[in-house]
Structure 1
């Protein structure tokens, strides 16, 4: 007899996937017209559009599990910051190009490993969505990994900026792998990925590149947390105020 899936827990997890992709995509969109050169400007914008597309897919899956009349647009544009379930790292300001590059690399490694695991989900709609997203995030990782290496091993200024970005971002990454009792139940059922297993793989892959790039992982006992429970930095509120303005000012508008 098949085990009953906890739809409420799965709905929350789908929001986590969607909110993470949306906030990352929105931050990358801020580079449009400000990239270091034209080709990279276009590349950053394309990655942003991919991530926003992933967000739409996951929001639609969440809507399908909900009993209310909310649409994917409602979930993206009509929720307040405390209702978002993304990890804090995705909402942080874009910073300089080194900061964006390293943040994107951390997320790309996580996304490739995550979607590979979710492609085997026992919940078929999630499996199919992950398979589609995986094709795109593999390209994202190839690109961001090359940039991390290129910047770290180039000029003294670029190396300093990359090390500063690592010092600032490293302690936001553990939150990517946080779970709770409801998610652990979904993991046991094979519905979602085993995040603790992913953490081990993520650390191995990321630390190998950082060592090759001669970057030093900072030491600290501080770790960011709270985003997955709706406790966010002030940065998310400012982002949503800009991102949601049209939909809130003109409810139901289409363009």
Structure 2
């Protein structure tokens, strides 16, 4: 596989993460605890959809032919998506959404900062834009983690349950496969396995300050990068792709 094909595959993976997680966040529109948070979550969802577009557009440029951002978002089945499993899990309650977002964004920040040093100028430029957004996301997530974890008995209980349920999905954030290794060797993408200690230190500190307990790493989910997903992704894509499936090739 050529470098351009590998970079396209990497870009699609990042686009898939952002699109699927952005869709999950968009499900809170009109359902958030109060109006300001409704607007905030919707804006964060838009940040992720915008990130997906940038990665998909770059992948389409590298792929050539008739490929475009809509091709990647709307015409692939679940088995062809390569997003991390943590991104596709059902919305859950507000504590689950906040906890997932924090665990993901705490990884995304050092990842984007490392990707900014990529020898591929386009990937570096996308990472630079995403890094600015992610700094804000991490501050927001952390505030909510502390507020809910150190809040009422119910809010703390819900947050601890969310943390316990999600922890096994975090290991996949740091998996490296042959695609990654080839691009790491060329200085095109960072080695995410080297980010784990930094992530764990950051997350452990927040968990302690939120009066929550760090879960035991006694199981680990995997398979998302290889197209092996939970049944939740199929339902998500059925909604996300419904208009394009009903009217193939539709243009606004």
TM-score tier after normalising by the smaller chain length: over 0.9
Structure 1 residue 137: Cα displacement: 1.1
Q: CA RMSD in A?
A: 1.2
**Pairing partner for 1:164 from 157, 161, 165:** 161
**Pairing partner for 2:207 from 207, 210, 232:** 210
2:88 maps to 91
**Pairing partner for 2:136 from 132, 135, 139:** 139
In 2, distance between residues paired with 1:206 and 1:113?
12
TM-score scaled by structure 2? 0.97
1:128 aligns with 2:142: no
In 2, distance between residues paired with 1:115 and 1:34?
30
Deviations 1:18-46 (A, max 9, x none): 00000000000000000000000000000
Gaps in structure 2 of 5+ consecutive residues:
none
1:77 maps to 74
SS at match of 1:210: helix
Structure 1 residue 222: Cα displacement: 1.5
**Pairing partner for 1:103 from 76, 80, 100:** 100
Deviations 1:142-167 (A, max 9, x none): 10110000000010000000000011
**Pairing partner for 1:57 from 50, 54, 58:** 54
1:248 maps to 245
Structure 1 residue 5: Cα displacement: 6.5
1:36 aligns with 2:33: yes
2:216 maps to 219
Q: Is the 8 A contact 1:108 1:137 kept in 2?
A: yes
In 2, distance between residues paired with 1:251 and 1:92?
27
Gaps in structure 1 of 5+ consecutive residues:
none
Q: Structure 1 residues 125 and 173, CA, compared in 2 at 3 Å: closer, same or farther?
A: same
Q: Is the 8 A contact 1:89 1:172 kept in 2?
A: yes
2:172 maps to 175
In 1, distance between residues paired with 2:50 and 2:161?
31
Q: Is the 8 A contact 1:5 1:186 kept in 2?
A: no
**Pairing partner for 2:15 from 9, 13, 18:** 18
Q: Is the 8 A contact 1:31 1:45 kept in 2?
A: yes
Structure 1 residue 220: Cα displacement: 4.8
Structure 1 residue 193: Cα displacement: 1.2
Deviations 1:213-238 (A, max 9, x none): 12112225321000010000000000
